[in-house]
Structure 1
């Protein structure tokens, strides 16, 4: 392990553990809280657990003797310079000089974790950890100084108090009251006013009998005692009034509480459960409908940002790699919360051996690699890459072992090829979309191999990536259709053209400009090509159009699609929206009357689109060391907003005549299309082709750039 990847050394003590172990265990707890109508509903893929025995160590140069407090989750011993202290000391004294501290911890029930606090000796992410120290002692009693032990830097988060035990972590809650309550003879229908998530609290509960709580994202669902997706049953036996909080948090807007005649209930409230992350990005413009869409997208994303980025709050509450990948991108333009990205990445990957694709879905394995690629681009965090490189390699080894005779990815037993929820979408043969994601994943591996100086592997991955990219066009490009076809079966192209591989090839820059223009016409703007009805793939379709300077078209699509959900009463964005459906049809999915999630993370994509393609801010070097700003009003009169970066915000105000910009860090380039050469305070303008101008932006200064939009 190359410790030079650590970006800083903390002087504050924090709880530490083996990287990924806390995250995996927390994911196990969260994902296995899912119930359907009161029945436990676990995940259907392999889940891992923590290593039960852990060795933590670090060498310190101590300027003067100090007293060190030690807190541990588990049974443990402590060594100083190889000599063990008696028992399991809660405090040790360390003399001046250079010393190595080892703490070995065993914990079967919870993640082995330590918190060490002295004046200079503190536990933080610079400590080294291993789950097997492979230390052996020969017949003379001498411990071996040769070992094959693999050491990693410790994992940590923000558990910075000795009493803040990692094993006791829970999301914060706050009281919320209902907007309205309709009382029946032995029932209450409670409306919280909008989609929400948390623990239902029953007040003034008294009597003897049964009580049922039926949850609904819609009023119809809450009233459907036979078909609502989630419920709680309570046995009441109390001669005095009492309050009772439901054991599990759930998603709902409406709650239908029904109880026996011998039971009385005063009122119902809730404890709203949320992730304590801070908004940093923002967007407002002259169009109030777009502002409303942005605000509801924000709230949708808030609800689905929990211990991890999850898919939806009602039904699954699981970590799905394809959903999470989109959440990462939205996060970079709203919260820029790296910790939730890292937690989710660790949880999805799990541990070796790899026995199946992530979530059992081939494309979701590839989206995991893509998430690594973008994480590095947005954050510049080499340390996280180094910590996970071995896990990346073994996952890619699994993928490479499942290629067919032509070196392509094709369905094998145990695989689920998802792509999208779309009627009649074929998954047979060698699907072009999977090859495209495979190529990008290999490029990710090459990038990461170079970061950790694994040059031979980098060469291998680059060669494989180039081969798959070539095959993508040799096999799937059809000159007559001016597009990539959907698949190849038995060595022959199918006639079907779908949007998926074509739109990804645009913003991956796999197409040349001529191909991009052809595909825009033949696929993206072609109503004969099967339309997309999920926000999941609308995300990428609209991104491809934005990448082709079609912001005016995309703005109309946003108003039609996301605005269409708002017109139907949505208070958060849905898993799927088909404008042709009417009434309660909008709630149906998976063959169930209320199977559809009305609050799904992939519905919040305007956060990303408006930040990256309207404000136009994106990193061009890891961690925003350099970045570009290419604002595009897309028919708006004005817009303003903030885009977060690792070192502060980029602030923008844009009209058709002026751009105001201020950035906290990094070297930026504003790219403008203007009828005249831009002017302004202390600006340096470089003219490019076709009326495009570039203006350099340095950190700390506010620039006012006057131009004339085309």
Structure 2
């Protein structure tokens, strides 16, 4: 048995200076609200891949090991009645899983819980014992606590007389965590509550209504039953519904990724013992090769980087190298040569503060890694090297012809090719992962990946799959939580699927950072937030000397943008009261944001309250999110125009968005193609075939070379240079707004769920654009206007258009195939 208190959880919850108003309007958007009849929750769980533990009709699969207690099904719920404590338990045992149960406590004295990995001794008086997630109806408010029923007592929080000595070591810390309002108020005492318990190896996590209450390591039990409790109060009825389980690990690639065999691009004999094979581009995979006859052994070296013409066997950072030994034999056929296993890429339960589980690839593949070159040492020169194939993992539905981009700047064309392939190559896991260092999804990484997947492929179900994965396996940075709101909004705008959104809407309330906001609407950051969890940019040296304070500009910009998108989504699914509450909160926070954080004398934003420093991040994030008042935009843009790429490839997504939306397309394109080592031009000139995590190893020595968040131009060029974005959910309408900068022409294809949008524009003495829209899709068109331009024609006929801020905006929407000219 091992244990360790999760002090980091407590640190995150101890917030400084917040006093969030608890009026009914605010309370409705602060945390998830479970529907009255439970039906929406039932379908939501099914849509996320969960299996019902209760069929809603009878108690099949459940049993009561006690001679007392009654369990019955009433209107799709399990009702427990008793005058002595008892547990209803499953007939099947489970090991690693995520279980979700909704509980409604009766009024008055009440206590219940969810048993997991528990045990049954039919011959004992206390027949059911083991792990329990507590549901506490008393004023003590320990709901979500970790209890060991009829065995070791309270684990987290712990208390004298009811916990073993080993758990009393963290008594003060654990009680303080449960005294914090975030956990203490997590239970809805008079309504439904959702418990989610996750067990992965010896790591146990408990969540209550979207609030993580426990993360603890204990190896006492690795499998057992699931159970629900009646505490024994006579006359009390305990209600349970929507009991679901998802057995772990999930391996998305089993259904959604295919192995493709690729021939070598070149084969070169290095020496009498070594042959080097180049597959042209880096990809995730392994090898299949003919079995060599005879005895002896050989070695296969896999490499992502060359040094002096040979595979670099000691590469920097997380650039990959590995070696797999092979033994010659007499049998006929082929070897499948797996790549070496990096334990971090398969880790399901690491150290206490470690990441969520790594995304696994199918066992029958053999292990895979990113590599471009192999060197085979020990095979004779008459071996049929030309028959070696790389087995490469790509999304099974990837379509190379779904998208295209070409313009008058050849470097931008190369950047597009690099970034598009980067998105394809990183589909190997079936969900978006951060690269090959940990192979886990991160929220910000996944959002940037999602945007670029939409613009490069025409089957993008991986985006919704990645969203669901991250909602269950979130990571620690502050701004990564609002990215979940961004991901949901982007998926809804792409698909237009209101049902998908309805099933996930309530859970998003825990991702807006409202629990850290004060009565003025602004988010506060505790000392631990300022030192660790507030990201701003990553790695730390890419923050343009950002100064962290209790109220900082970047965190609050993300908070406001998350609230704005929540308001839009709430309205779309008929949650009008929520939409108003979110909208009101946006206006409150925006007013406080402007008053507290804008430097009127300088005309730009400070990093936070209490500092006079202004980083580019404190200015381009508000600009990208549309928070800057109209009369202040020009000043912020003028300041940013003079700045270089003082941010990472991640933050550059938002920096470029701010510049394009502000009309500084020439500046954005110049930064993308700038000389030096802080641009995508540098990546291209380096010879890499997948985008990097950082601009260069000097900025992040442990970076990997297969990171999709470095591929932002894959979405920026179609969205802003070609100029096509969804104008309404599901692409029923399109917003066409090209930003040519100094380019003479651009053409390409943007995939949508309704078919491709084809764009071909020329920026010469006049601006001419040819559009081909899918059937049933209309477009609102906004085109660049030269100072001398007088009117706009569609297919040769003048049309009504309004000229404003250097743009021509067509008054009427267009459809079909048209040619528009600004004259």
Q: Same fold (TM over 0.5)?
A: yes
> Structure 1 223/184 Cα, relative in aligned 2: closer, same or farther at 3 Å?
farther
| Contact preservation (8 Å) 1:250, 1:313 | no
1:175 aligns with 2:261: yes
Residue 252 of structure 1: aligned partner: 371
Equivalent residue in structure 2 for 1:599, among 692, 706, 709: 706
Residue 670 of structure 1: aligned partner: 781
How far residue 666 of structure 1 moved from its aligned partner, in angstroms, is: 2.8
Q: Within 5 Å, which residues of 2 pair with 1:608-687?
A: 608-656=715-763, 657=766, 658-664=768-774, 665-672=776-783, 673-674=785-786, 675-681=789-795, 684-687=799-802
| Contact preservation (8 Å) 1:687, 1:694 | yes
d(CA) in 2 for partners of 1:535, 1:390? 32
> Structure 1 545/201 Cα, relative in aligned 2: closer, same or farther at 3 Å?
same
> Structure 1 244/335 Cα, relative in aligned 2: closer, same or farther at 3 Å?
closer
Look up the SS of the partner of 2:820 in the other structure.
Answer: strand
Equivalent residue in structure 1 for 2:421, among 296, 299, 320: 299
Q: Within 5 Å, which residues of 2 pair with 1:198-237?
A: 198-205=285-292, 212-220=299-307, 222-225=311-314, 229-234=320-325, 236=327
Deviation digits for residues 145-183 of structure 1 (CA, Å, limit 9, x no counterpart): x9774599x99xxxxxxxxx9895262112112222434
Residue 276 of structure 2: aligned partner: 189
How far residue 190 of structure 1 moved from its aligned partner, in angstroms, is: 2.8
| Contact preservation (8 Å) 1:201, 1:243 | yes
Residue 518 of structure 1: aligned partner: 635
Deviates further, 479-488 or 690-699:
690-699
How far residue 312 of structure 1 moved from its aligned partner, in angstroms, is: 4.7
Deviates further, 262-271 or 628-637:
262-271
1:314 aligns with 2:436: yes
1:363 aligns with 2:476: no
Residue 324 of structure 1: aligned partner: 446
1:435 aligns with 2:556: yes
> Structure 1 54/332 Cα, relative in aligned 2: closer, same or farther at 3 Å?
farther
d(CA) in 2 for partners of 1:323, 1:702? 36
Residue 563 of structure 1: aligned partner: 681
> Structure 1 55/233 Cα, relative in aligned 2: closer, same or farther at 3 Å?
farther
Residue 661 of structure 2: aligned partner: 547
d(CA) in 1 for partners of 2:462, 2:622? 28
How far residue 413 of structure 1 moved from its aligned partner, in angstroms, is: 4.5
Look up the SS of the partner of 2:760 in the other structure.
Answer: strand
> Structure 1 290/601 Cα, relative in aligned 2: closer, same or farther at 3 Å?
same
d(CA) in 1 for partners of 2:726, 2:291? 55
| Contact preservation (8 Å) 1:627, 1:669 | yes
> Structure 1 250/495 Cα, relative in aligned 2: closer, same or farther at 3 Å?
same
| Contact preservation (8 Å) 2:252, 2:430 | no
Deviation digits for residues 232-254 of structure 1 (CA, Å, limit 9, x no counterpart): 44463745465233121110112
Deviates further, 696-705 or 358-367:
696-705
Residue 573 of structure 1: aligned partner: 691
How far residue 623 of structure 1 moved from its aligned partner, in angstroms, is: 2.5
How far residue 676 of structure 1 moved from its aligned partner, in angstroms, is: 1.9
| Contact preservation (8 Å) 1:422, 1:533 | no
| Contact preservation (8 Å) 2:288, 2:391 | yes
d(CA) in 2 for partners of 1:229, 1:200? 16
> Structure 1 254/54 Cα, relative in aligned 2: closer, same or farther at 3 Å?
farther
d(CA) in 1 for partners of 2:285, 2:252? 21
d(CA) in 2 for partners of 1:413, 1:201? 49
d(CA) in 2 for partners of 1:291, 1:226? 29
d(CA) in 2 for partners of 1:325, 1:640? 26
5+ residue gaps, structure 2, are 1-34, 63-72, 74-89, 99-194, 198-225, 230-236, 339-365
> Structure 1 211/632 Cα, relative in aligned 2: closer, same or farther at 3 Å?
same
Deviates further, 406-415 or 424-433:
406-415
Residue 701 of structure 1: aligned partner: 816
| Contact preservation (8 Å) 2:434, 2:441 | no
| Contact preservation (8 Å) 2:52, 2:243 | no
TM-score scaled by length of structure 1 = 0.70
1:457 aligns with 2:578: yes
d(CA) in 1 for partners of 2:602, 2:814? 47
**Count, aligned residues:** 573
Residue 500 of structure 1: aligned partner: 617
d(CA) in 2 for partners of 1:53, 1:248? 33
How far residue 562 of structure 1 moved from its aligned partner, in angstroms, is: 1.9
| Contact preservation (8 Å) 2:482, 2:511 | no
How far residue 386 of structure 1 moved from its aligned partner, in angstroms, is: 0.3
Deviation digits for residues 643-677 of structure 1 (CA, Å, limit 9, x no counterpart): 33332222222113322222123331222325021
> Structure 1 17/545 Cα, relative in aligned 2: closer, same or farther at 3 Å?
closer
How far residue 109 of structure 1 moved from its aligned partner, in angstroms, is: 7.6
RMSD (Å) for aligned C-alpha atoms: 4.3
Deviates further, 611-620 or 695-704:
695-704
TM-score scaled by length of structure 2 = 0.61
1:281 aligns with 2:398: no
Deviation digits for residues 376-424 of structure 1 (CA, Å, limit 9, x no counterpart): 233322111101023213445xx33344787523146586222222425
